[in-house]
Structure 1
């Protein structure tokens, strides 16, 4: 039995799945989604991108929400996809795409853009095209790292925003109240925006919450958290349940 009692902050559906997975391993958790997914209104740009998928040598999908919304648009467009390689940052997003028969590649280790860019399959897809063009399905805003690196290789990159992430409404002080009431001794965020929302909701309680171990998915988010004053930051090197479980095993909690 683990001594960890964790606050999980993913969107509600993903949070529940993660809590169940951790529960099997004896980890107690409490779900408080700090990200809610709101699909953007369908646009002519979206319809055009899916109707003309043959323009692209690869499609990169950065998250499960992007995969789910993208698949709906793909079904509406009836565009041919047999020869088109799809890429995702992590295994969970790849699983969503793979369930619909798409040819998906993702990094075996590391759920981040850096690991994705190192994939041989992505290099092959780009090299095989005379004028490589890549479509990236993502949320509103987000990092420019992928596009910058690909453009540096002579690739034309089109972004297609499909959704926005918003902070659900909570009363002031609710975050700290839950941490205390549930006797939580660790916090988990799955993205940089998730951490921003954690910081925003914590408000004046952040100095106390910053003393709790904080589990993050990447070096980038780890640096973001440390710069904000988080005292104990554990980089899970991935946002998957397996990555979190491995980090929990390597960083055992003290007995409560």
Structure 2
């Protein structure tokens, strides 16, 4: 049995799935979702993008919630998504689209925008005279992907299907959970997840920030250190496999 006892902070369904994967490897965890997915109503301009999926040379879906909600919207509107031209940042998001019969390319190494930009299949899709790219995501988020694609001559649109919200918890919930279950590590899956962790910790953040913090990328690692996290572990990916590998190569704090 691993000495690690981790706090997981992904959306509820993803948290439960991740907890099962960790338990199978002998790693104990506790779920405290810090990202709730709230679908948004689509305005006419967004609905037009949804109806015109086939007009894009590359359709980039950045998360599992985006993939699930996109498929739901397509089904509700009686649309037929194009079978090809799909790209995702990670394997788990690709699996959602693949299960719907779509052909998806994704980077095998790295779960971030930088890895996707280096993907040969995406570069091939960009190698035409006029390139239109649709990025399916939540409201807000990183602009790096769109900026880099625009630099390469692409016309980039967004289809934003949801908001990420911090669920309501009583004050002090985070530290009480850590202490009651003797948790010795924290896991966040995105920069916004880190922001919500700090927000929920509030005045307790200096104490929470002493715990090892597992993050998915160098960007979030830098963000965490700037926020005062004292022990940051970059998993180099947001998947369960990447997290487990990082946990296994990291020494747990002494009890």
Structure 2 length normalisation: TM-score? Answer: 0.97
What residue in structure 2 maps to residue 141 of structure 1?
A: 140
Q: Deviations over 1:194-233 (max 9, x none)?
A: 0000001101111111110000000000000000100000
For structure 1, the 5+ residue unaligned runs are: none
The structure-2 alpha-carbon separation of the partners of 1:72 and 1:156, relative to structure 1 and needing over 3 Å to count, comes to: same
- The 1-side partners of 2:65 and 2:23 are apart by 24
What residue in structure 1 maps to residue 204 of structure 2?
A: 205
- The 2-side partners of 1:217 and 1:80 are apart by 30
What residue in structure 2 maps to residue 230 of structure 1?
A: 229
Does structure 2 retain, via aligned residues, the 8 Å contact 1:9–1:189?
Answer: yes
Does structure 2 retain, via aligned residues, the 8 Å contact 1:66–1:163?
Answer: yes
1:172 partner SS = coil
- The 1-side partners of 2:49 and 2:90 are apart by 23
- The 2-side partners of 1:5 and 1:249 are apart by 12
What residue in structure 1 maps to residue 48 of structure 2?
A: 48
Q: Aligned Cα RMSD in Å? A: 1.0
1:60 partner SS = strand
1:131 partner SS = coil
What residue in structure 1 maps to residue 92 of structure 2?
A: 92
What residue in structure 1 maps to residue 245 of structure 2?
A: 246
- The 2-side partners of 1:219 and 1:122 are apart by 22
- The 2-side partners of 1:78 and 1:37 are apart by 23
* Offset of residue 19 of structure 1: 0.5
* Offset of residue 255 of structure 1: 4.9
- The 1-side partners of 2:54 and 2:61 are apart by 16
Does structure 1 retain, via aligned residues, the 8 Å contact 2:74–2:81?
Answer: no
- The 2-side partners of 1:241 and 1:86 are apart by 23
What residue in structure 2 maps to residue 181 of structure 1?
A: 180
What residue in structure 2 maps to residue 81 of structure 1?
A: 82
- The 2-side partners of 1:201 and 1:74 are apart by 35
Does structure 1 retain, via aligned residues, the 8 Å contact 2:9–2:15?
Answer: yes
Number of equivalent positions: 254
Q: Deviations over 1:119-166 (max 9, x none)?
A: 100011111x32101000000000000000000000000011100000
Divergent runs of 4+, >6 A: none
What residue in structure 2 maps to residue 217 of structure 1?
A: 216
* Offset of residue 49 of structure 1: 1.1
- The 2-side partners of 1:108 and 1:194 are apart by 23
- The 2-side partners of 1:200 and 1:71 are apart by 32
Q: Does 1:114 align with 2:114?
A: yes
- The 1-side partners of 2:102 and 2:176 are apart by 44
Does structure 2 retain, via aligned residues, the 8 Å contact 1:218–1:238?
Answer: yes
Does structure 2 retain, via aligned residues, the 8 Å contact 1:50–1:79?
Answer: no
Does structure 2 retain, via aligned residues, the 8 Å contact 1:47–1:77?
Answer: no
* Offset of residue 77 of structure 1: 4.1
The structure-2 alpha-carbon separation of the partners of 1:183 and 1:80, relative to structure 1 and needing over 3 Å to count, comes to: closer
What residue in structure 2 maps to residue 15 of structure 1?
A: 15
Q: Deviations over 1:37-96 (max 9, x none)?
A: 0000133223211211222101000000000011112222423513x3100000000000
